[in-house]
Amino acid sequence: MPSGAAIETDTRQAAMAGVPRHVAIIMDGNGRWAKSHGLPRFEGHRRGAEAVRRSVTAAHELGIEALTLYSFSSENWSRPETEIGELMGLLKRFIRSDLRDLHAKNVRLRIIGEGHPTDSEVQALLDEAQELTRSNTGVKLTVAFNYGSRNEIARAAQQLARQVADGVLRPEDITPERFSDALDTAGLPPLDLVIRTSGEQRLSNFLLWQAAYAELVFLPVFWPDFDRDWMERALAEYGRRERRFGGVEASGS
């Protein structure tokens, strides 16, 4: 007889038959992971960067078309300056060490959010990363940096309002589709699945418009421990869901 692990693997593979096109992850729990291991918070962030690498590789191998990561919210600027400085330093090291590998894997990197109020070196690295990978056709890796969904929605509304004021757009032309095209995520596939680690069960101002009909999976694992196995568990749970988009089941219930 097959082992319990083999049965679980077979079940997971069967459930993953319909792999989502677009997966977003709220990478939560770096600080709590560090505390649980008696380590400084920065070590949690450093291990979290390693989890990012594993996640991009897993997305590439599993056939996920787009992966969007919540790396730094617009509210995170309220954190201590020392921690922000450590996070920016980690971002610099990540781009310098991983950019060529991402490019070699045909990954296209895109940064979304409310501008980037960081030092010029960070901005230059972000621009270089996006430009180098602009023509790549593999996984669409989107990093939400200095991002807040309410702000994104407000900016989209302002953009459309200016077009109405300029006479190039009528109010009745503002459809959900046109509004989506004004968001930072324009051009990405519809969001299918949102994963949040650490056991917390909220969206925390992340992709509020885009997640209207996305499946939500909350995992009891801190982000630094996230790996392909946890990704597969989330995709298996997604595969077991019946997505009706406001409709009804075939039975009519």
Q: Is 192 a catalytic residue?
A: no
In a domain, 129, yes or no: yes
Q: Using one digit for the tens of pLDDT, what is the confidence trace for 114-134?
A: 865 566 788 888 899 999 999
State what percent of residues in the chain have pLDDT above 90: 69
Q: Is there a binding annotation on residue 10?
A: no
Q: Is there a binding annotation on residue 55?
A: no
In a domain, 15, yes or no: no
Which residues constitute the domain of residue 27?
A: 20-146+191-232
Residue of 24 and 92 predicted with greater confidence: 24
pLDDT band of residue 7 (cuts 50, 70, 90) is very low
Q: Is there a binding annotation on residue 215?
A: yes
pLDDT for 47 equals 94
How many domains, in total, are found in the chain? 1
Q: Is 76 a catalytic residue?
A: yes
First vs last C-alpha separation in the chain:
38
| Residue of 76, 136, 151, 205 marked catalytic | 76
Question: pLDDT at residue 84 above 90?
Answer: no
Question: pLDDT at residue 8 above 90?
Answer: no
Q: Is there a binding annotation on residue 31?
A: yes
Q: Is there a binding annotation on residue 29?
A: yes
pLDDT band of residue 247 (cuts 50, 70, 90) is low
| Dihedral sign computed on CA atoms, order 30, 35, 37, 39 | positive
pLDDT for 72 equals 73
In a domain, 131, yes or no: yes
Range in 4-8, 160-164, 170-174 the model is least confident about: 4-8
pLDDT for 32 equals 95
Q: Using one digit for the tens of pLDDT, what is the confidence trace for 169-195?
A: 999 999 999 999 999 999 999 999 999
In a domain, 239, yes or no: no
In a domain, 95, yes or no: yes
pLDDT band of residue 58 (cuts 50, 70, 90) is very high
Question: pLDDT at residue 157 above 50?
Answer: yes
pLDDT band of residue 140 (cuts 50, 70, 90) is very high
In a domain, 80, yes or no: yes
Q: Is there a binding annotation on residue 96?
A: no
Q: What is the largest CA-CA distance in the chain?
A: 71
**CATH code at 91?**
3.40.1180.10
Q: Is there a binding annotation on residue 138?
A: no
In a domain, 252, yes or no: no
CA-CA distance, 208 to 114, in Å (whole number)?
Answer: 15
**pTM across the whole model:** 0.86
In a domain, 250, yes or no: no
